[in-house]
C-alpha cells in the first residue's frame, strides 16, 4: 500500500523542486554576506525545509489525483492511474492528503519560536497548492499556476531561515516559475486532443502544439535570463555558477530538440530525465560556488 501511495504522488519527482529549496536555503544561510551577517546553520531548519517540501508536494499531488480522477478515467493516457483503475481507493488517497497536509503544517512548527511566518502561511500555501488542481477548468494560465506553486519552494526556504523575503530568492523563484511552466506546457501537448474535446484550458489546446512549444521555449529562455541575472543581486556566485548555467542552457536546448510538433514520443524523456538533471545540476553548481568558489 505504501509503495502504491508513493507511486500515486510520484514521490521521486520531489527532485524537481527540492534542489531549488536547498539552494535557496544555502543562499539564505550565507545571506548577502558582505552586507548582512550570515545566519547560523541549524539542523532543525534543514529538517523543517525537507519535511515541508516533501509533505506539501505529497498533499498537492494526492489532492490533484482526487480532483482529476474522473477526467483521468476518460483520458487514454491516464486511465491506468491508481484511482481510475481501482488500485487505490478514494478513501485511502483522501487520508494520504490529510496526513501530508498535517505533516506540512507540523513541519512549520520546527521554525518556532524564532520564526512564526511559515506556520502562519501554511494554510494559505496549501489552499494555493490545492487550487491548481482546478485551474485547467477555467484558465490557460494553469501551467503558470503550477510554476508559481513550485516557486514557493525557494521562497519558503528563504523565509523560513531569514524571516523575510529579499530580491535574490524572488529572482530564483521567478526562474523556477518559468522553468516549470515551460516543461508543463510541453507535457500538456500530449493531451491536446483530449483537452480540446473536453473543453479544458491549456496553452496547447488554445494555440495548438506548434505554437505551444514556441511559448515553452520562450519560458525557458526567460528562465535562463533570470538565472543569469541572479549573481547581480546576490554576490555569492561567480565562475562556477556561470559554467553550470551554460550547461543548463544546453540541456534546455536539448529538451526542445527532443520534442517536435509532429513527434511527441520523447516527451517523457524530456520531462523527467532532462529536468531532473537541470534542477539537481543547478543546486550542485550553485552550492559549489557558494562554499568553494573564489
DSSP-assigned states of every residue in 59-112: HHHHHHHHHTHHHHHH-TTTTTSTTTTTSS-HHHHHHHHHHHHHHHHHHHGGGT
Q: What is the mean pLDDT of residues 124-146?
A: 96
Residue 34 has pLDDT above 50, yes or no: no
Distance CA 255, CA 267 (A): 9
**Can you give the CATH number for the domain in which 166 is found?**
1.10.357.140
Domain count, the chain: 1
Q: Which burial class, exposed, middle or buried, applies to 62 when counting CB atoms under 10 A from its CB (0-12, 13-18, 19+)? A: buried
- Enclosing domain of residue 242: 2-292
- Statement: the pTM of the whole predicted model exceeds 0.85: yes
Q: Partners of 260 in the beta sheet?
A: 263
Q: What is the DSSP string of 266-290?
A: THHIIIIIIHHHHHHHHHHHHHHHH
User: Could you report the per-residue pLDDT of 142-166, keeping only the tens digit for each?
Assistant: 999 999 999 999 999 999 999 888 8
Distance CA 135, CA 141 (A): 8
| Cell 553550470 found at | 244
With bands split at pLDDT 50, 70 and 90, how would you rate the model's confidence at 87? confident
Amino acid at each position: 500500500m505504501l509503495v502504491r501511495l508513493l507511486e500515486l504522488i510520484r514521490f521521486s519527482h520531489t527532485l524537481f523542486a527540492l534542489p531549488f529549496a536547498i539552494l535557496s536555503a544555502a543562499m539564505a544561510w550565507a545571506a548577502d554576506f558582505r552586507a548582512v551577517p550570515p545566519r547560523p546553520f541549524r539542523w532543525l531548519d534543514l529538517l523543517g525545509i525537507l519535511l515541508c517540501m516533501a509533505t506539501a508536494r505529497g498533499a498537492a499531488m494526492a489532492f490533484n489525483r482526487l480532483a482529476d480522477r474522473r477526467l483521468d478515467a476518460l483520458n487514454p493516457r491516464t486511465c491506468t492511474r491508481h484511482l481510475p483503475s481501482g488500485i487505490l481507493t478514494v478513501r485511502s488517497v483522501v487520508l494520504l492528503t490529510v496526513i501530508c497536509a498535517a505533516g506540512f503544517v507540523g513541519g512549520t512548527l520546527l521554525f518556532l519560536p524564532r520564526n512564526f511566518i511559515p506556520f502562519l502561511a501554511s494554510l494559505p500555501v496549501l489552499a494555493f497548492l490545492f487550487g491548481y488542481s482546478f485551474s485547467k477548468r477555467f484558465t490557460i494560465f494553469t501551467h503558470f499556476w503550477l510554476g508559481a506553486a513550485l516557486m514557493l519552494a525557494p521562497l519558503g526556504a528563504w523565509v523560513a531561515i531569514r524571516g523575510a523575503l529579499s530580491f535574490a530568492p524572488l529572482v530564483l523563484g521567478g526562474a523556477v516559475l518559468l522553468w516549470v511552466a515551460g516543461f508543463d506546457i510541453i507535457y500538456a501537448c500530449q493531451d491536446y486532443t483530449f483537452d480540446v474535446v473536453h473543453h479544458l484550458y491549456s496553452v496547447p489546446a488554445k494555440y495548438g502544439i506548434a505554437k505551444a512549444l514556441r511559448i515553452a521555449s520562450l519560458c525557458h529562455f526567460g528562465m535562463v535570463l533570470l538565472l543569469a541575472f541572479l549573481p547581480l543581486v546576490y554576490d555569492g556566485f561567480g565562475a562556477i555558477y556561470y559554467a553550470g548555467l551554460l550547461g543548463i542552457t544546453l540541456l534546455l536546448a536539448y529538451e526542445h530538440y527532443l520534442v517536435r510538433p509532429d513527434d511527441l514520443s520523447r516527451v517523457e524523456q524530456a520531462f523527467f530525465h532532462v529536468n531532473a538533471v537541470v534542477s539537481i545540476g543547478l543546486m550542485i553548481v550553485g552550492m559549489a560556488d557558494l562554499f568553494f568558489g573564489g
